[in-house]
Structure 1
Amino acid sequence: MNLKDELTDNQLYTLKILKTPSAGRALARWLMGLSGLFFILLFLPWQQNIRGTGKVTAFTPGNRPQTVESAIPGRISSWNIREGQFVNKGDTIVTLSEIKDKFFDPNLLTRLSEQVEAKRSSIESKRLKAEALKTQIKALRSALDVKYKQAQNKLKQTELKLVSDSVDYEAEQIRFRNFESQYARNKTLFEAGNIALTKYQDIESKYQESKMKVVSSENKFLQTKAELINAQVNLAGVQAEYQDKISKSESELNATLASLYESEGDLSKTRNEFANMQIRNDQYQLIAPQSGYVVKAMQAGIGETIKEGEAVVTIMPENPDMAVEMYVKAMDVPLLSKGRKVRVEFDGWPALQVSGWPSVSVGTFGGEVQVIDFVNSRAGEFRILVTPDPEDEPWPSILRIGSGTKGWVMLDDVPIWYEIWRNLNGFPPSLYEEPLDLDSQKAKETVEKKTTK
């Protein structure tokens, strides 16, 4: 009996040793529960996203920090601001003094103005002289016409007179020949004693008178012929004389006009110098181009010389329209489109971001993609500009330009198991349809609504 009891006790002891402890059973239950939970989680939705880093900037280029440069070289005479000070548009930042000896004269503008007036008066005088020469040339041309017509009339009268004198001369010659033959016959008769002396003397007297008339008419004819030659010479001389006067006046007119045009060029050059000097005088005061805060002074001290185009201070505009300048990988750019929602995390701002579940994120702010660069900004990266989402919480007012940021451009929902598989294989995020810009998307929705109606 004792042996039987001892064997039974030994068997029970073995069973007790081989029995699964309660702690192991609890661990197994926990592992099975966690495995089931993990399996269920694999089928939960996960919103794909594109990650990027960047910094805070201003959306409008005119609202970004800018340097104020000096348009002229000069020496700093006085500072009218300090770093961190707010300045209004048009406030004087720095006053400069001249360093080029060409502009040392304090009355340079007055002297240039006097030169302009002197050249303007000279131009007016030359213009009046040119007008007078034009009037003189016109008068000479009129006088040439009158004198030429007078000379032509004189020539014509002389030609007619020469014709008349030639006719008279020929008539006197005929008359003289008649008297000569008559005289010869009567002389023969007188010598023969056939006529009286008185008659012979009368005929001789008429013969001598006719001879005298022939000589007189010949002299008159030759004189008229000489007058004709003189009239012809006078006709040519009148044209040559007045043409010479006109040519001299035209030459003087051309010289006056050339001098006038040269003076007008000098006047334009002097007026240009005067205008440039007026502008240069304004450049001695370095003016704030817009209202904002003086961030940093690039120069220091009094009397320091600065070069043309050298930066003097940096100004941050007063109310910049905040945006985030974010860089994404080139492989992700085809998935982006204007209007895509973005979650932004700012450096120094406490945040907890679950990228796939933006609804449970804390400390991040909403944004929208507004600009996607057409060329890469960095090696293998493209820049996008993100502005605040008007439907989300406003961005912090204490943000500063240049603050670091992280961002997640939100895409479509996929199961968690697919996202894990995609990341393990290095595949890019996927889209169910081609990405559209915000404007194209709204137009598509409008068309769909009209079709439904």
Structure 2
Amino acid sequence: MLNISDNNKTNPPSLEKFETIKNLNLNSNSKILNRIIVSVCILGILILFLPWTQNISGSGSVTTLKPNQRPQSIQSVISGRIENWYVQEGDFVNKGDTILYISEIKEDYMDPNLVANTKRQVSAKKSSLESYGSKVTALSSQIQSIESEKRLKLEQAQNKIKQSLLKIKSDSMDLVAVKTQLKIANTQYDRAVQLNNEGLKPLTDVEDKRLKLQEVEAKIITQENKFLGSKNEYINAKVETNRITAEYSEKTSKAQSDQFTALSNQYDTEAQVNKLENQYANYSIRNGMYYIKAPQSGYVNRVLQAGIGQTVKEGTPIVSIMPAKYDIAVETYVDPIDLPLINKGEKVRIWFDGWPTIVFSGWPDVSYGTFGGKIVAIENFISDNGKYRILIAPDEEEDAWPKKISIGSGAETIALLDTVPIWFEVWRVLNGFPPNYYKTNSKTAKDKK
């Protein structure tokens, strides 16, 4: 290498000749600083091996354990106009106390005597129903009377038929007898004529026999007419039977038709009575809805509809009420990755907004101002904020929660898991691994033995 410049020197001068360098070498503070740094490093390494309690942190708010103990808004079941308030914000009301009174705004219910008029309509329809019932009963009696009369008439007609048959039989026997007499009269007449021709009988005997024959011939004609008359009477008796059956069937049909009409009117009136009774009950219940009452004992938190004369629709919240007696609880939210580590019945540490606390999440034993809780419910469906809701109740084995806690105030929770070294926790967090799955050790009877 060429030594072109005079500044290039192979052996640089020593720095010991400078006064500042001499002062630095004589100063002992640098040695102390080095010792401090080394001590801090050793202490940091030792701290990495200290125990650290893994936990799942969450944030939520104070609520109540039971749904019926939470703040609720009282709504109006019907539409109306606010007429009078009986409470103000902050008042304590018992169950059933009147909060406000509203009046009717629908024209269908504005009649002040609507309930009484409906009651009278129900009474009138019931009377009409009873009348139709009486008519049905009377028609039933009439049908029974018609059937009884029909039965008697048919028996009378049957008797006439039997009489006609007997008369036909008697007339037929008389006709046979007359025909026998005619045959005898013809024989006697012929014998008398023969004997007269032989001179054994006088002519007067022949004339007597002819007269007797003519009488028998006339008698047989009369007997045949009588026999045919008996047959006609029999036919008329059968026709009369059919006429009686048709006549009384018509009467029975007409009475049954009237009865069915009365029954139809009775059922229609009964339906109208039921409808009117339903309306009467609805109107009576609606009158009781004008007075909005407290569903349970509590404090009036906030009046949501103010003023006199303001109209409200059905289902509109009117006033908010807080129950007087409630069981305190905390609802908190955890990330989905931590949900498998949460089990019902596990213990949780809680601290509330407004209460002095000193919290070391990894060392719960040295924390101050936290309270014990126990998980009572885990929601299986994710909430709108992308987390799962956990409900925590006070732990009866630890100190009671403060009595001055307000519903809705904030709360922070820590669910304690496994105890690991700090270096392991740092490594887990840096790699994004979940905490160790923690199971409560439950010894069986065999293990205890």
Same-fold status (TM-score > 0.5) = yes
Tell me, in whole angstroms, the C-alpha distance in 2 between the residues paired with 1:277 and 1:15. Answer: 107
Equivalent residue in structure 2 for 1:266, among 272, 278, 287:
272
For 1:420, the equivalent position in structure 2 comes to 426
What's the counterpart of residue 43 of structure 1? 49
Asked whether the 8 Å contact 2:81–2:105 carries over to 1, the reply is: yes
1:147 aligns with 2:158: no
TM-score of the superposed pair, with normalisation by structure 1: 0.88
In 2, Cα distance between equivalents of 1:229 and 1:20: 166
Q: Distance in 2 between matches of 1:75 and 1:213?
A: 110
Deviations 1:224-272 (A, max 9, x none): 1110110110121121122112111211111111111111111111111
CA shift for structure 1 position 148: 2.4
Q: Deviations over 1:384-416 (max 9, x none)?
A: 111112122221211111112221111111111
Hey, what's the Cα distance between the residues in 2 that align with 1:18 and 1:303? 91
Question: Aligned partners of 1:426, 1:64: CA distance in 2, in Å?
Answer: 38
1:380 corresponds to 2:392: no
| Match of residue 107 from structure 1 | 113
Partner of 2:82: 76
Tell me what 1:3 maps to.
none
The 5 Å alignment of 1:194-273 reads: 195-196=201-202, 199-200=205-206, 202-273=208-279
Between the aligned partners of 1:254 and 1:14, the Cα distance in structure 2 is 133
- Measured after TM superposition, the shift of residue 138 of structure 1 is 3.0
Distance 1:73 1:410, change over 3 A: same
Tell me which residue corresponds to 1:6: none
The corresponding residue for 2:342 is: 336
Q: Distance in 2 between matches of 1:54 and 1:379?
A: 12
Distance change >3 Å, CA 384–CA 19, structure 1 → 2: same
TM superposition shift of 1:364:
2.1
**What runs of 5+ residues in structure 1 fail to find an aligned partner?**
1-9
* Cross-structure match for 1:117: 123
| Alignment match, 1:129 | 135
Structure-1 separation of matches of 2:151 and 2:419: 104
Question: Could you say which residue in structure 2 is the equivalent of 1:320?
Answer: 326
Q: Which amino acid counterpart does residue 369 of structure 1 have in structure 2?
A: I
The alpha carbon displacement at 1:181 in A equals: 4.9
Partner of 1:7: none
Classify the secondary structure of the residue corresponding to 1:294. strand
1: CA distance, partners of 2:174 / 2:438? 129
Which residue matches 1:287?
A: 293
What do residues 310-340 of structure 1 show as CA deviations (whole Å, max 9, x unaligned)? 1111111112211111111111101111122
1:112 alignment partner, SS class: helix
Relative distance call for 1:199 and 1:405 in structure 2 (3 A) is same
1:449 aligns with 2:445: yes
CA distance in 1, matches of 2:99, 2:22: 94
Change (3 A) 1:335 1:99: same
Distance 1:395 1:191, change over 3 A: same
Deviation at 1:70, TM superposition (A): 0.6
Aligned residues: 433
Gaps spanning 5+ residues in structure 2: where?
A: 1-15
Task: State how far apart, in whole Å, the 1-side matches of 2:225 and 2:274 are.
Answer: 72
Superposition TM-score, scaled by structure 2 size? 0.89
| Residue among 409, 414, 419 paired with 1:408 | 414
Sort the Cα spacing of 1:30 and 1:314 in 2 relative to 1 into closer, same or farther, 3 A: same
Counterpart of 2:392 in structure 1: which amino acid?
V
Structure 1 position 205, deviation (Å): 4.3
Moved more, 73-82 or 36-45: 36-45
CA gap 1:14/1:133 in 2 versus in 1, 3 angstroms: closer
Deviation at 1:165, TM superposition (A): 0.7
> Structure 1 residues 235, 394: CA separation in 2 closer, same or farther (over 3 Å shift)?
same
The structural deviation recorded for 1:74 is 0.6
Which stretch of structure 1 is more off in the superposition, 220-229 or 150-159?
A: 150-159
Q: Read off the aligned partner of 1:449 and give its amino acid letter.
A: A
Letter in 2 for 1:361: S
Q: Which residue of 1 aligns with 2:163?
A: 157
Identity of paired residues, percent?
46
What one-letter code is carried by the residue in structure 2 that aligns with 1:150? Q
RMSD: 2.6
Q: Which moved more, 1:304-313 or 1:155-164?
A: 155-164
Once residues 342 and 267 of structure 2 are traced to their aligned partners in structure 1, the CA distance between those partners, rounded to angstroms, is 64
Take 1:14 and 1:265, find their aligned partners in 2: how far apart are those partners?
118
The 10-residue stretch of structure 1 (82-91 or 35-44) with the greater mean CA deviation from structure 2? 35-44
Contact 2:80 2:102 in 1 (8 A): yes
Matches within 5 A, 1:11-26: 19=25, 21-26=27-32
Match of 2:354 among 343, 348, 351: 348
Deviation at 1:61, TM superposition (A): 0.7
Tell me the CA shift for residue 369 of structure 1: 1.3
Aligned to 1:166: 172
Q: How far apart are 1:426 and its partner, in Å?
A: 2.0
User: Residue type matched to 1:430 in 2?
Assistant: N
Give the drift of 1:194. Answer: 6.1
Aligned to 2:12: none
1:54 match: 60
- The CA deviation at 1:198 is 5.2
Measure the CA separation in 1 of the matches of 2:189 and 2:396.
Answer: 145
Encode CA deviations 1:360-384: one digit per residue, 9 max, x unaligned.
1122222111111111012431111
The answer (yes or no) to whether the contact 2:417–2:438 under 8 Å persists in 1 is no
Asked if the contact 2:99/2:291 (under 8 Å) is kept, the reply is yes
Partner of 2:8: none
1:166 Cα deviation from its structure 2 partner: 1.6
